[in-house]
Amino acid sequence: MGTMAVEQSPEISISVVSHAQIHLIEYLLHDINQHCRALLIELILTLNLDEMLPFTVDSFLFPIKVIRNPIPRGFATNHNQAFTYAAGQFFCVMNPDIRLNDNPFKALLACLQDTAVGVAAPLILSTNGEIEDSARRFPTPLKIFCKAFGRCKGSDYLVKNNPIFPDWVGGMFMLFPREVFKKLGGFDQRYFLYYEDVDLCARLRLKGYEVAVCPDAKVIHLARRSSHHSFKYLKWHLMSMMRFFCSSLFLKIVWLRLTKKTHGQMYDRAI
């Protein structure tokens, strides 16, 4: 009598949202197919705008779930929606403009063995190999003003070989233990675009979790900086910035930083 094959649950669920970027995403899918074969992965692809797939979903070694939005949704809503379809032990938010030269998940999962870490991120490299400024201290109005006038330059953290623990990491690539993302209630859907990653990392910190950048994991980011040349994106950026600065969460983070500095507790690890 033959035995039935038991389908294994995925270890990692990857959420990618396309804004008419499916040809860019096709490259990413091939990267995952080539470099991440040792892992059980599923990919949840959200089509935020109506577009045809230039491939069949069974063309890859991992399953792909496709969500077609009837109307465009924001970053937070799209990834939270994808999470409701995710079956993996870990939930990964990944931008369409990410490229992989190897498997970043091995090092990220090693970082997440520390149960104090609530989210792990790789080192983000530009196409010419330079380290992008994706690990930062929490923004303040003074710091934004300083950067706007070109006075505050350089990275907030010095990257070496060991993991670093910044205040927050950019949302282009974030890996969460499933239960942590669930406990937080996902991203705050009041943000349409920008600052969702800042807000979520702030809530993580308030719950006692660390944010980690793991330099052994590296990915390439084909950044386009839409807010620098589009009024619509700039408006979203400014609106999200004001929402964060006017929130009680921002005040709590400022207070936490002041009290932890005073008492010399663990939060100094990321100051």
Look up the CATH number of the domain holding residue 123.
3.90.550.10
> Does any domain span residue 235?
yes
How many domains is the chain built from?
Answer: 1
> Does any domain span residue 4?
no
> Does any domain span residue 182?
yes
- What pLDDT band is residue 229 in, cutting at 50, 70 and 90? low
> Does any domain span residue 160?
yes
The confidence score (pLDDT) of residue 81 equals: 98
Lowest mean pLDDT, pick from 3-12, 74-83, 154-163:
3-12
The confidence score (pLDDT) of residue 152 equals: 73
Instruction: Output the 3-class SS for 187-213.
Output: CCCCCCCCCHHHHHHHHHHHCCCEEEE
Residues 90, 208 contacting (CB under 8 angstroms):
no
Half-sphere exposure for 58 (CA within 13 Å, toward CB)? 0
The confidence score (pLDDT) of residue 36 equals: 97
Report the candidate in 42, 196, 216, 44 with the shortest Cα–Cα distance to residue 121: 216
Distance CA 76, CA 81 (A): 8
> Does any domain span residue 6?
no
> Does any domain span residue 3?
no
Distance CA 157, CA 154 (A): 9
- What pLDDT band is residue 258 in, cutting at 50, 70 and 90? confident
> Does any domain span residue 1?
no
Distance CA 116, CA 141 (A): 29
> What is the span of the domain harbouring residue 46?
12-270
Q: Is 70 exceeded by the pLDDT of residue 77?
A: yes
Residue 191 burial (CB count, 10 A): 22
> Does any domain span residue 33?
yes
Lowest mean pLDDT, pick from 6-20, 31-45, 228-242:
228-242
pTM: 0.89
